Structure 1
Amino acid sequence: MTDEPLTRTRKPAGAAVMQPQVTAAIQAAAFEELAAVGYGKLSMEAVARRAGVSKPTLYRRWPTKEQLVISLVTEVAVAAAEPPDTGTLESDLRAFLAISAAGLSHPLASRIIPDLLAQAIRVPSLAEALQSGLGQSRRAKVAQILDRAIARGELPPGLNHELALDFLMAPLFWRAILGGTPTDPTYLDELTTMLLAAFGAHRNR
């Protein structure tokens, strides 16, 4: 049996037809369930029930909840927006911080991210997915902001990229995890100013 209605075209015996809209519904349900109960209590049955699909339909895509969650993390990393390119480092940083803060403050993300970070200590494959997906992939994109600023002469060529990237995201994660308000405009303005000073930024003459 497949996710799609029967058509005139004969499918190979046993072939599973994966409807994109069904997959999307399952992913949305998984995010909602993960936010509601956390990774530890997440069950495939609850995800299937919330998505309105059968358990075989779910298991055909992801045999375990671990694989399901890792897939969700990968999807988020791939869908991450390109970093802003406004023409100046200061504007790029301010825009990036605003976008990132909004993402961390999302009702689902604000509950899912702290839980996954805690669970990653116990689940090595989840830790690896977070590091390679949301970690390395996202950092590679954000590094473009620094590279463009160096090319424009706004940052020193010897800037420590890895440390600078840590500086960019750590304050927002720390504030979000501790229940702060990372989207406060004054906070973001002051954080931008401090980052520019920490990076040794200077304006073109």
Structure 2
Amino acid sequence: MSDDGRERRPGATRRRGEELVRAIHEAAIEELLAVGVDRMTMEGIARRAATAKTSLYRRWSSTEEILIDAFLRVFPQEEPSPSSDDLRGDLVRALRMMRDWMTTVGARAVAEVVTARDRNPGLVEAVYARVFGKRGGGFTQTVLRHYVAHGAIAPARLTPVVLDIGEALVVKYRMDHSELPDDAYIDAVVDHAILPALGPPPGGD
């Protein structure tokens, strides 16, 4: 029996610390995909995680707070070359990371939230600020801002179009073809869209 008097799910074991937090994060994502963000409850997450509801309230005040933490766990972090000397390679790796992540349950869960901004604007804003923002904006944005910080790209080059073009083309490809792009297409996005849009490096005009 759990510490709030409920029967534990058969086969459940008592977990603590990071193991319990991970189980709750996974349960929150499963609950989101099963019932939708508007119908999520702390009870539903606790049931899926096979833990007491009090375990959730000790760490989070709402289902939205659990989701933010869960998204931060599953959203990948691009790590550009420390020496900032392989812009093309870093951009290619970033878009391949994005493509591969798009096949995951975590990506489906994030998309479920951010594509419904009109219903949950506060939650979507929190995802952008506390998940994407904490990860440097995500994927090619992380790379481009890294190179700007190291003087390899002029700050004025990072227009909204340049920051979004790589990810936008990957998403468009999936919508048009009902599948994710292969490596050759991603290479072409970098070579024929992002790099030309950036123009020559500082001092290279």
Output the aligned Cα RMSD.
Answer: 3.2
Contact 2:46–2:52 (CA<8 Å) still a contact in 1? yes
Tell me how far apart the structure 2 counterparts of residues 168 and 64 of structure 1 sit (CA, whole Å): 34
SS of residue paired to 1:40: helix
| TM-score with structure 1 setting the length | 0.72
Q: Distance in 2 between matches of 1:176 and 1:112?
A: 17
Aligned pair in 2 of structure 1 residues 95, 52: CA closer, same or farther (>3 Å)? same
Query: Could you tell me which residue of structure 1 aligns to residue 100 of structure 2?
Result: 102
Which amino acid in 2 is paired with 1:143? L
2:129 pairs with 128, 132, 146, which one?
132
For normalisation by structure 2, the TM-score amounts to 0.72
> Aligned equivalents of 1:48 and 1:87: distance in 2?
47
CA distance in 1, matches of 2:93, 2:67: 29
Instruction: Say if 1:141 and 1:93 are closer, same or farther in 2 by CA, change over 3 A.
Output: closer
Kindly indicate whether residue 14 of structure 2 is the aligned counterpart of residue 21 of structure 1.
Answer: no
**Structure 1 residues 135 and 20, CA, compared in 2 at 3 Å: closer, same or farther?**
closer
What is the count of residue pairs matched by the alignment?
A: 184
Contact 1:38 1:112 in 2 (8 A): no
Distance in structure 2 (CA, Å) of the matches to 1:177 and 1:58: 37
* Map of 1:159 onto structure 2: 157
Q: Return 5+ residue gaps in structure 1 as ranges.
A: 4-17
Q: Which moved more, 1:171-180 or 1:120-129?
A: 171-180
Structure 2 match to 1:120: 117
Structure 2: which amino acid aligns with 1:113?
A: V
> Do 2:25 and 2:69's aligned partners in 1 also have CA atoms closer than 8 Å?
no
Tell me, yes or no, if structure 1 residue 111 matches structure 2 residue 108.
yes
Q: Tell me which of 53, 56, 81 is aligned to 1:55.
A: 53
Deviation of 1:161 (Å)? 4.6
Contact 1:33 1:47 (8 Å CA) reproduced: yes
Q: Indicate yes or no: 2:142 matched with 1:141.
A: yes
Gapped regions of structure 2 (runs ≥ 5): 5-15
Mapped to 2, the partners of 1:145 and 1:93 lie a distance apart of 11
Summarize deviations over 1:84-116 as a string: whole Å, max 9, x none.
Answer: 31732111111111111111221x134212210
